[in-house]
Amino acid sequence: MSIRVDTEDKKKFENFCNQTGMNVSVAVNMFIKAVLREDRLPFEIKTDPFYNDLNMSILKDSIEQIKRGKTVTKSLDELKEMENE
| Distant-in-sequence, close-in-space partners of 74: CB < 8 Å, separation ≥ 6 | 82
Please give the DSSP secondary-structure letter assigned to residue 50.
G
This prediction's pTM: 0.54
| pLDDT, mean of residues 23-37 | 97
Q: What is the CATH number of the domain that holds 7?
A: 1.10.1220
Written as one letter, the residue type at 67 is K
Confidence class for position 67, pLDDT limits 50, 70, 90 = very high
Report yes or no: 13 and 24 within 8 Å, Cβ to Cβ: yes
Residue 47 or 64, more confident: 64
The span from the CA of 58 to the CA of 66, in Å, is 12
| Number of structural domains found in the chain | 1
- Asked whether the predicted pLDDT for residue 9 surpasses 90, the reply is yes
Structural domain including 68 reads: 1-85
Answer left, alpha or beta for residue 53, where phi above 0 means left and psi between -120 and 50 means alpha: alpha
- Asked whether the predicted pLDDT for residue 32 surpasses 90, the reply is yes
- Per-residue pLDDT of 35-63, as tens digits, reads 999 999 999 988 888 888 999 999 999 99
